[in-house]
Amino acid sequence: MSAVKVTSSDVARLAGVSQSAVSRVFTPGASASKKTTEKVRMAAEQLGYRPNSLARAMVSGRSRIIGLVVAYLENHFYPEALEKLSNALQARGYHVLMFMAPNTTASIDEVIEEILDYQVDGIIAASVAMSSDLSQRCRAAGVPMVLFNRSQDDPDMSAVTSDNFSGGRKVADFILQAGHRKIGYIAGWEGASTQRDREAGFRQRLAEDGLELHARGVGNFKMETAAEATRQMFKEDPPEAVFVANDHMAFATMDVLRSELGLSVPDDVSVVGYDDVPIASWPAYSLTTVRQPANRMVASTVEILLDEIEGKPQGPRHVQIDGPLIIRGSTRPLEGPKT
């Protein structure tokens, strides 16, 4: 025997309300009295009714689905940030459909094209870069997009990041105040705006004291690549301090310094990261790092995107949120050079 499908009309009859009242109860953002809501939900539970979200989307023209594309999840900053994004959107009656994409423009463009096929109301692109052609395609389709933790040289594309340039300057200023003069830097993926801006701010502050980088490596935001960059950097004439472009790589750098090279952190070398993921505070690392203000970044991203979706556009917005330097045990105290 096939099960008889329960409809909203069945719920309305049992609850003693109109079908439109049932629709309002199950439509996010719609208005229904507490008494009506209780009667409708009780009837729906008794009958085993589930609203048809796809049918509702066809009628309203809104899916209430946000497409989220992310390049990688190895960095612990992203699982936490994506959970916050999902929770914030659900609180506003939206749901997230997540897609993974390799960190190349061509592959990400293909993924965004696929997301558009799902009739999403908006797109959040986290830690990815896209072609200007694709951003124009999204605008033409009426699907707003916001970049999260990545910016782009496109004045029409909204983006929310921490103030990476200022963060890089803070790290350099702290390292200089600690008395270090031989300073290294391990870069992330060089196609990322976050990497570019962190290094630019870092170098600018060093230059103000007449210094250039003593050593530079590239870790591509990957632990194994950062580990190898650390090995190469410390083969000859090693630096006294290293700024690593994110915590994910900084953990690999610290592991190599201590476990493979037998160096003490911070007695032999100071290490600074960027993000302040939960592991950074663990005693095993106690990593000095710049904290990305994830809560404020998420709030700004959701606000910008939903303003566009819900007909309150303010034009493209480029938000940079300042984050503090969190000082822990991986760096020399501010007491000047060792004697």
User: How confident is the model over 158-183, as a mean pLDDT?
Assistant: 96
Average pLDDT, the chain: 88
Task: Tell me the pTM.
Answer: 0.80
How many angstroms separate the CA atoms of 109 and 120, rounded? 16
Helix pair 105-117, 132-140: axis angle to 10 deg: 10
Please report, rounded to a whole number, the percentage of residues in the chain having pLDDT higher than 70. 90
pLDDT band for position 156 (50/70/90)?
Answer: confident
Pick the CATH number of 164-291 from 3.30.505.10, 3.40.50.2300, 3.40.50.10260, 3.40.50.720: 3.40.50.2300
pLDDT band for position 28 (50/70/90)?
Answer: low
Tens of pLDDT, residue by residue over 58-69, are: 455 567 899 998
- Say if 63-162+293-321 and 164-291 have the same CATH topology: yes
Superfamily of domain 63-162+293-321: Response regulator (3.40.50.2300)
How many angstroms separate the CA atoms of 303 and 338, rounded? 49
Domain ranges of the chain: 8-51, 63-162+293-321, 164-291
Nearest to 205 by CA among 181, 177, 179, 170: 170
Structure tokens at 146: 């916001």
Exposed, middle or buried, 84 (CB in 10 Å: 0-12/13-18/19+)?
A: middle
Nearest to 69 by CA among 108, 41, 37: 108
